[in-house]
Amino acid sequence: MKKSSHLQAVSKKPEGQPTRGKTASNRLRRVDNFILLYEPSLLTRTDDRFADALFVDLGYGFDPRTTLESAARFRRLNPNLKILGVEIDKERVEAALPFADEKTFFRLGGFNLPLLEGESVRLIRAFNVLRQYEEKDFAPAYERLAHYILPGGLMIEGTSNPFGSIWAANAARKMEDGSWKMEALVFSTNFRLGFDVEEFQTILPKNLIHRVVPGEAIYDFFEAWKRAAAETAAAKAYGARQWFGAAAQSLARRGYKVNLQKKWLSKGWLIWERD
């Protein structure tokens, strides 16, 4: 592809709106590490149409550092993985093009992904993108993006703080019948900020952040998590990590389907599995 053609949307006008492009080195490292632990086969599978399927990083920001960092991490597992960085801002595509190669692409696009004929998608990561939209834009964006994902593929969409030390994300699965479902709501902390349930409220994905009000399921979840944290506060003496794990156990006892495997809790991931 010639440089000029990367800067024209591959098909139609990009859907969405340009937003602030702030990013930071290694901001999304824990998102990548989560994917590597949650479902490494997402990156390696070659069945059906997955052989050449892309990992899409939607809205990589003013430069493609997080896309390139993910490329390095994911290609340790699958050296042939094809990666597409998508930006709605022309200058940001231009900034990224010097880093393109035969398996790393950068294109101008929006929620209507700029795919070439025959291309398919195994995984979409969209981080700190929808937070700058309105809540009403959330569902159409998900519908549009999910359309491109192969059955069995995943989208992880969420919000982090500036350095990625805490984040929250939806994991949405594309189903065999072409529909998609919310599989999990994932909370992540590297414990640098200690453990404070309320911190997670401030970085909820767009579909939830305005919904922490009585009568909403996410409100009940946070109330239960706060009570669980209060009830297990003695564990704080052993550190934030232990407290986080103890609170998760208590949350599960309250009937929430949280994954209690040590590999998640000890590393600061709380996975609320949705039905």
Query: 56, 95, 60, 102: which is closest to 79 by C-alpha?
Result: 102
Contacts with 70 (C-beta within 8 Å, 6 or more apart), sequence order: 28, 32, 55, 57, 83, 125
For the bound state, the minimum distance from the C-beta of residue 221 to ligand SAM, rounded and expressed in Å, comes to 24
**Interface size with ligand SAM, residues (CB under 6 A):** 25
How many alpha carbons fall within 13 Å on the CB side of residue 266? 3
Which residue type sits at 58?
L
Q: Residue 205 Cβ, how far from ligand SAM at the closest point, in Å? A: 13
Considering the rule CB under 6 A, would residue 59 count as an interface residue with ligand SAM? yes
Q: Does 86 bind ligand SAM (CB under 6 A)?
A: yes
Out of 6, 10, 27, 241, name the contact with ligand SAM by CB under 6 A. 27
User: Between residue 114 and residue 143, which ones bind ligand SAM under the rule CB under 6 A?
Assistant: 127-129
Asked if 92 is part of the footprint of ligand SAM (rule: CB under 6 A), the reply reads yes
Cβ distance to ligand SAM smaller for residue 158 or 245: 158
- Dmax (CA) for the chain in angstroms is 61
Of 88, 100, 204, 258, the residue at the interface with ligand SAM (CB under 6 A) is: 88
User: In this structure, what are the phi and psi dihedrals at residue 201, rounded to the nearest 5 degrees?
Assistant: -65, -30
Region binding ligand SAM by CB under 6 A among candidate stretches 38-46, 54-62, 115-123, 249-257:
54-62
Stretch that binds ligand SAM, among 43-51, 52-60, 168-176, 201-209 (CB under 6 A): 52-60
Q: Which is nearer to ligand SAM, 141 or 228 (CB)?
A: 141
User: Which residues, in sequence order, are bridge partners of residue 201?
Assistant: none
Q: How far is the CB of 141 from ligand SAM (least distance, A)?
A: 7
Residues in the site for ligand SAM, rule: CB under 6 A?
16-23, 27-28, 58-61, 66, 86-89, 92, 110-111, 127-129
